[in-house]
Every structure is written in C-alpha cells, then in structure tokens.
Amino acid sequence: MPGIRTSSWNTPSRWFWLVASVALLCYLPVVLTDRAVFGIRLSNMQLLNLGLSQVNLMLIAMLGALSLNYLTGCAGLISIGHAAFYAVGAMTAAITGSQWGWPFPLVLLAAGLAGALAGVIAGLPSLRVRGLYFVLSTFAVHYIVVFAFQEYQFKFFDVVGVPYKPATLAGIDLSSPMRWYFFLAPVVALVYWALKNSLRSREGRAMMAMRDHELATTSAGVDVRFLRLKAFGLSSAIAAMAGALYAYYLTNVTSEFFGIQFAIQFIAMIIIGGMGSLPGALVGAAVWLLLPSIITGVASQAGDSTGLMRVLLIDHKAQLVQVIFGMMVILLLIFAPGGIASMGTKLRGRWLAWRKK
C-alpha cells in the first residue's frame, strides 16, 4: 500500500543471517568451554586465547558502553563519572542482596532504580552549567560515590571487600560461565533493542536534535531540561544494573574497582567503536575487553624469542597493550572520528555501490 514501508527484515536473506548469527552465538560458549568445534580440538591460539569468562565480562562492559554512548554520543552530555553508577549498582546489590537477602531479580530492579535516582541527581547541574563545568560536576559525583562505597565497605565488610551471594534466577543458580553467558547475552540484546527503538521515537529524535543544536531544539518547543534528566536517568539505570551484574559475577568487589580508570575505559570504548553509534558501543567494548587477551596469547607464543620481540611481548606486555590502545584512539580520532562503526558503514556503502555496477 502507498505510504507503508515494508520492514527491511521481510527478506529471506536477512532472516537467514539473523538465524545464523543467533545459532553462532548459541554455539560460541560450547566452543570456548570444550575448546573444540564439532569435536575437532582447537589450540589456544586458534581460539585467540579467549575464554568464556572474558566474553561474559565483555557482555557486562557492553551494557556500560551502550548506556554511556546513549548519554554522550546520542544526547550530547559528556560524563566522566560513569564508574560512579556502576558503584551505585554494586552497593545497592550488596545492601539488598548480601545484607537483606532479596532475590536476584529484585536486586537488579533495585539497582536500576537507585541508578536512575543517582543519575537524575547527577544530571541536575546540566540545567545550569555547560561544557567543562558540567564535566567537572560528573567528576565530583564519581569521587563522592566511590567515597560512599568505601565507607560502606569498611563499616560492614572491612578490607576484604564486599561479598555477593550466588545469583539465582527462576531456581537456576548462575554458578557457571555458560549459565551466565545465556543470561547476559539476551540482556545485552534487550537493552540494545530498547535503546535503538528509543532513539527512533519522537523523543529520541528530539534528544539527538538537542545534541546537534540545543537552541534550535528549544525554539521548536522541546523541553530540553526534561530530556537531559531523562537521558541521565535511563543511562544511569542501565549502568547501575551493569554494576550489580559485575559485582555478582566477580562475587567480591572493593571500592578500588571503580576508580577513575574504570570510568575512562568506557569513554575509550565509545571512541573506538563510534560516538553516537549503538553498534559501535558493542564493537568498542569487544575490542577493549578482548584485545588484551589476544595480545597475551601472542606473547605466550613468543616465550622463546629473543631481542626486541621478547622485550615487547614478554617483558613489557602491559605497556604494549596500553600503547596499542593509545595509538588506536589517536589514529581513529585523526582518520576515522566516527570510530570503527563509521568505517564499517563506509565499507558497506562501497560494497553496495560495487554490487549495483
């Protein structure tokens, strides 16, 4: 019918790739656990030195990267206090789960609500200040929350850290990496789908317009103050839930886990993946979390080497990882400011143009 656009997914090829991708994601934990594909053993290097635990931590990081990219890349609100909301989620999970004994789903809900409240409070300065002053206010929020977590930890658990009970969902104990994977992967997919649809809504388009030109958006009758607080609340709720999941997965955390370096890594993820791109946030988190393991695997193969190769891969492995990430960020900012996502979009455009010839 005229005026009605058929969904782009109503094609056999797209459905095939969707089903194939889901099947691959479902088989991935089996491969990483058995270290084999259909019974054929694979070496550690063939598996890129990856394990299911790294993948699970990557999935949790993806939630943080998605929430920050929604706030900074889509709403235009720069924050360097993202680790604070992780800490809010972890502390809420400790109070409701470890101390009060609430079930795991209610703990996640409480963490999300606490994160949303903390996010709205942290977003209040955005109603009065802009630019560097607002960034500094998020910096202050980070240290206030981390200090509160530290005081809470020392009062109830001392220096050993905050312990967390095993997560249980519908009577199933998430005690193994594989069970965690099949819980975390749908959660990431659901959050991605929700944020993507939020950006397609009228309010989401207004938020991106606010990012591009706030004055013009205000003159169009949009209450940008409400949009800022809503973006902060939603982003912080997701980050807090990710913080609760992070704490439950590690089973024990301390206030040192949520330092400023923890916050900066999420900024690096969205720069690497692509500012304002939700798929880019996923890619950036994957690169940031998995690349060190891959480099470690390469270094283990160079154990018998000598000279410069040994100095780089063995003696200064940690510094090498930092140099690679630093160079990656610099090169992307110079040659591909849109991150890896923009590079993928350009390649896809060239491929489609080549096919039409």
User: What DSSP state is assigned to residue 127?
Assistant: G
Averaged pLDDT for residues 244-264: 94
pTM: 0.91
Q: How far apart are CA 321 and CA 199, in angstroms?
A: 34
Instruction: Tell whether 55 is covered by a domain.
Output: yes
Residue 39: both structure tokens together? 């019974």
Return the pLDDT at 253: 95
Query: What is the average per-residue pLDDT within 78-82?
Result: 88
> In this model, does residue 176 exceed pLDDT 50?
yes
Check residue 1 and give its pLDDT.
Answer: 38
Structure tokens at 337: 């400011």
pLDDT at 102 over 50: yes
User: Sorting pLDDT into bands at 50, 70 and 90, what band is 43?
Assistant: confident
Residue 101: count of CB within 10 angstroms of its CB:
9
Confidence of residue 257 (pLDDT cuts 50, 70, 90): very high
Angle (CA) 334 83 196, round 5°: 65
Q: At what angle do helices 82-93 and 260-273 cross, to 10 degrees?
A: 120
Q: Is 276 among the domain residues?
A: yes
CA dihedral 165, 168, 172, 177 (to 10 degrees): -60
pLDDT reading at 144 higher than 90: yes
When divided into structural domains, the chain yields a total of 1
Is residue 279 situated within a structural domain? yes
What confidence score (pLDDT) does residue 69 get?
Answer: 95
Give which of 257, 265, 267, 284 is closest to 339, Cα–Cα. 284
CA 64 – CA 242 distance, rounded (Å): 6
The answer to whether position 332 is within a domain reads yes
- Is 41 contained in some domain? no
21 is a domain residue: no
pLDDT interval class at 5 (50, 70, 90):
very low
What is the radius of gyration, based on Cα positions, of the chain? 22
The encoded tokens of residue 267 equal 């900024």
Q: Give the Cα separation of 71 and 227 in Å (integer).
A: 11
Under 8 Å between Cβ of 120 and 253: no
What is the predicted pLDDT for the residue at 134? 86
Q: What is the model's pLDDT at position 6?
A: 44
Residue 343 belongs to domain spanning:
50-300+307-356
C-alpha distances in angstroms, 126 versus 68, 84, 102?
16, 17, 34
Strand partners, 173: 168
Q: Could you tell me the pLDDT band of residue 93, with boundaries at 50, 70 and 90?
A: very high
Q: Does the pLDDT value for residue 273 go beyond 50?
A: yes
Average pLDDT, the chain: 88
| pLDDT computed for residue 310 by the predictor | 62
Other C-beta atoms within 10 Å of 180: how many? 23
- Give a yes or no: residue 338 inside a domain: yes
pLDDT at 20 over 80: yes
For residue 44, being part of any structural domain is answered with no
Domain harbouring 158, CATH code: 1.10.3470
